[in-house]
Structure 1
Amino acid sequence: MSSQQSGGALQAAVATEKITITKPPLGSPIKRTYTFRVKRYDPERGGYYWREYKIELSNHETVLDGLIKIKWYQDATLSFRYSCRMGICGSCGMIINGTPRLACETKPYDLGTEVITVEPLSNFEPIKDLAADFSEFFRKHRSVRPWLIRKDETEQFEKLESYYPQTEEQLSEYLEFAYCIKCGLCYSACPMVFLNRDYLGPQALAQAYRWSADNRDEGAVLRLKVVDSENGIWSCHYSGTCSKVCPKDVDPALAINLLKNWLLTGRRRR
């Protein structure tokens, strides 16, 4: 091979190498600068106000990642709640671009807008900024006795040597409602909670059905007395917003209708 030919081959190789180096790898992050409009609450002043932050995020990062970066690098006073960052604990519920969502599962890139509006959950009393008070929410949850009730408590807590058997078919009667992570998104989205602050709400009512439909439970009558009231299932007008925003595909609206059917017909059926 002549020197001219070898030189041409070398130049071609270098050109090819340059193309390979400059070409972004498959699945490389796409970075964009987003404007976070955060509705904040000051407990000392007792009022809301808005703050805007500019933050760069990739298409792999979430709204929660953005809020953490803002707190670390821009405003240490920003308050919000989070824990697992995996859509399991339900701590990071907030209203993002008008819809109750989990911040750890919501990517700004997927929202298709460069302005991300973040607000605390509605139907909850504020604590500070995006952190809401869940005291009333959990009080309503406890009111439906969301645990296994047995008539013989001595057997249940002291003398039970094995476990209460359950078939796969019996498990399927309530399993979809057992996935609730108590994030409060359904409660925040419910228009009837806004109109009637004493309404138990979709989360508590769905759990009333979940435990009453469990074949191992013997406390359905006690729960039905709680939910059969003006502040219970009869306040639900079936808007369906609770089921629409659930991050775990639980269907609280279905559970409420099943409770209504149970009370009207005198027997439980799917």
Structure 2
Amino acid sequence: MSTLEQETETEAEPEAEAEPSPQESRMDAKRARAEAQERERQAREEVIDADESVTLKVFRYDPEVEGKEEPRFDDFTVPFHKGMTVLDALIYARDHYDSSLTFRHSCRQAVCGSDALFVNGQQRLGCKTQVADLDDPVRIEPLPHQDVVKDLVVDMEHFYEQMHAVEPYFDPEELPEGEYEEQRQSPENREKIKMSTRCIWCGACMSSCNIAAGDNKYLGPAAINNAYRFAMDEREGEARKEDRMRIVEQEHGVWRCQTQFSCTEVCPKDIPLTEHIQELKREAVKSNLKFW
């Protein structure tokens, strides 16, 4: 018999991981409960030791967990410190009180747009909103006019579909001649579209829009701003601009805007959304004027 065959015969079969016994499962669950209780106790002590605290009234909803299918508000008392944001307070509540508390966040620099919330009756970015600027208790809800997935998380799929519906990409008629030649843009034109490029796709404007709330097909302020960014860029080809204008001129486009300025008021990047919509309306009128 060869050495290889001998080694093969003597190799032991790997043992399958044993399933935890019912007693071990109960002990694990007991330890998890004890750890959660200890975190909550420490959180209460920190609140007592803190000079100031703030109460969060947080919207809760979980359609997949029995007993939590009905929307409700949970209260969390959080120790306050200078510079604390709403996102900081939510993270504290999740880490010290209830690890199932669900919300989106990423960059914490008001760039990703993932933590848009409805705070004390207004759309705001959690990472940008200072707790010190808010009335206590701080009421935190998911963005209105959106389907709630869980707690403070809303379904953004429809919003993204509207953003892509305006075909936000260039299709210039002429390309630079040289291989390394740039697609040049004048400083004046760059200044004109600069604010429109600041959009972070947070959805706050769409959530604040009464028209979008009643018309699910309305493109919405963010998508129209997206169209503005390309339509007003001098590098855009004329034929492509006409196609884009046809998209925003349709029944559920710019003409649905009633100039309420709610989108402009809540935009965390201070984009003059309503002005951009009105300018596209003027462009639509000019493009359809016929002179005989």
TM-score (norm 2): 0.76
- Deviation track 1:106-146 (CA, whole Å, cap 9, x = no partner) reads 111112x2200000001221111101111110100001011
Structure 1 equivalent of residue 259 of structure 2? 238
Which structure 1 residue ranges, 4+ long, deviate > 4 Å from structure 2? none
Structure 1 equivalent of residue 124 of structure 2? 101
| Counterpart pick for 2:272 among 229, 242, 251 | 251
**CA separation in 1, counterparts of 2:218 and 2:70?**
26
Bigger drift between 160-169 and 176-185 goes to 160-169
The question of 1:129 aligning with 2:148 is answered no
Shift of 1:189: 0.6
**CA separation in 1, counterparts of 2:179 and 2:69?**
52
Query: Quick one: which amino acid aligns to residue 255 of structure 1?
Result: H
Structure 1 equivalent of residue 188 of structure 2? 169
Structure 2 equivalent of residue 36 of structure 1? 56
**CA separation in 2, counterparts of 1:41 and 1:189?**
21
- Deviation track 1:18-67 (CA, whole Å, cap 9, x = no partner) reads xxxxxxxxxxxx95211101112212265422111111121311110000
Bigger drift between 90-99 and 143-152 goes to 143-152
| Counterpart pick for 1:150 among 155, 172, 175 | 172
**CA separation in 2, counterparts of 1:117 and 1:217?**
44
The question of 1:198 aligning with 2:220 is answered no
Structure 1 equivalent of residue 161 of structure 2? 139
Shift of 1:160: 4.8
Structure 2 spans left out of the alignment, 5+ residues: 1-49
Q: Aligned pairs, how many?
A: 234
Structure 1 equivalent of residue 75 of structure 2? 52
**CA separation in 2, counterparts of 1:160 and 1:42?**
55
Shift of 1:73: 0.7
Contact 1:33 1:114 in 2 (8 A): no
**CA separation in 1, counterparts of 2:106 and 2:117?**
14
Shift of 1:172: 1.3
Structure 2 equivalent of residue 120 of structure 1? 142
Larger % of strand: which?
A: 1
Bigger drift between 252-261 and 213-222 goes to 213-222
Q: Which secondary structure state, in structure 2, belongs to the residue aligned with residue 61 of structure 1?
A: coil
Bigger drift between 143-152 and 96-105 goes to 143-152
Bigger drift between 71-80 and 217-226 goes to 217-226
| Counterpart pick for 2:85 among 57, 62, 67 | 62
TM-score (norm 1): 0.82
Structure 1 spans left out of the alignment, 5+ residues: 1-29
Shift of 1:82: 0.3
Query: Quick one: which amino acid aligns to residue 136 of structure 1?
Result: H
Q: Which secondary structure state, in structure 2, belongs to the residue aligned with residue 239 of structure 1?
A: coil
